[in-house]
Amino acid sequence: HSVALYEEVSDRWGLARALADLGWMAEHLGRYCEARELCERSLAIRRELGDERGMADAMLTLGIVSWVQGRLDEAHRLLRESLGIYRALDDWNRVAHTLKSLGEVLVRRGQFEDGLALMESSRDIYGDLGHRYGAQGLLPFLAESHVHLGLYQEARAGIQQETEILRQTNHLWTVAFADFVNGLAVLAEGVCHEAVGLFQASATAFQELQHPENRAWVLGPLGLAAHGTGDAVLARRSVVDALEIGIDLGAFMPVMYGLPAAALLLADQGAIERAVEVYACASRYGFVANSRWFEDVVGHRTNETAATLPAEAVASARMRGQAQAWDAMAAQCLTELKDN
């Protein structure tokens, strides 16, 4: 309604603000295609008006939407441009927020050390500004980077240091993400029952907070942990749900955490060549290929199973997997797991 009113009275400034607000809301509700369209419209108007701050705000939200959708190069470009404007405007709160988002993009690319460094810079700026909420909110993201670098004890120590404070201050989303990351570290150390509990707590919290995309991040690793405890029903249901939500939302990360889990389940069903193919598809992307966590939890087991096949069959399966895009492979795996 507000958009129509601003259009009716030809208020371009008000229209740009309304589109940006609606885009931000759509992004938080997981309606990413709608958020992209709204933010692109807002950005185009801001450019016409020469509104630097408005342009930076629109590019920040659009950059976040882009990385959620797996368009990582586009996200990186938008966020760097946004960061440059915020620095020129001397808006250090926004600089910190954008550095955090840029760091996340690098982590999703598999550039874990570089992403970690940017997020540490963001944390330091928040600290200098006295913005305790911003600094605390970064802790699970720093820990996730540590997990993928194979620094499991550092990850757990970083989370445990602040989790109780976060619980007391009602950072419900951050606590849910901290439980997820703690579960990743525990699973890498082979403590599957504890990992299941952490992942279930995280998934439940995200469901209560109405964050389906973040809940879907958790479900792939929950499937892996359940597989480790011998609960085949929970394992399959979790991985199916992860892939289904990822496909429905057009979201990259649920599929990145879900495909390796799907590969492990397929290998257990005797579809070893197909498992190699699925894991090779996931490994097209730096987030999986460069991750010590994925190698420790899934990769080495997939390689051991693949060693039972002729080398030519393995090479052929890997080539097929590398030729597939993540969303197409997710749709195929979903059908296969449901059929079985």
The pLDDT mean for the chain works out to 92
Residue located via tokens 């029952």:
193
Cα gap 267→121, rounded to integer Å: 42
- C-alpha 36/C-alpha 70 separation (Å) is 13
What is the Cα–Cα distance from 234 to 242, expressed in whole angstroms?
12
> Residues 227-246: what's their mean pLDDT?
97
Averaged pLDDT, 241-246: 97
**Which pair of tokens denotes residue 262?**
């799907």
Nearest to 137 by CA among 88, 82, 176: 176
Task: Tell me: pLDDT of 10 over 80.
Answer: no
The neighbour count for residue 50, using CB atoms within 10 Å, is 8
Which stretches of the chain are assigned E, i.e. beta strand?
A: none
Report the run of H or E that residue 308 belongs to, with start and end. Answer: none
Is the pLDDT confidence value at 283 over 80?
A: yes
Does 1 have pLDDT greater than 60? Answer: no
Residue 7 confidence (pLDDT): 61
The percentage of residues in the chain with a pLDDT greater than 90, rounded to a whole number, is: 80
Contacts for 240 with CB less than 8 Å, ≥ 6 apart? 334, 337, 338
Band (pLDDT 50/70/90 cuts) for residue 322 is very high
Please report where in the chains the tokens 């445990």 appear, as a residue. 160
C-alpha 271, offset from chain centre: 28
Q: In terms of Cα–Cα distance, which of 273, 336, 324, 330 is closest to 302? A: 273
> First and final CA of the chain: distance in angstroms?
47
Distance separating alpha carbons of residues 213 and 258, to the nearest angstrom: 12
pLDDT of amino acid 231: 97
So what's the pLDDT on residue 35? 92
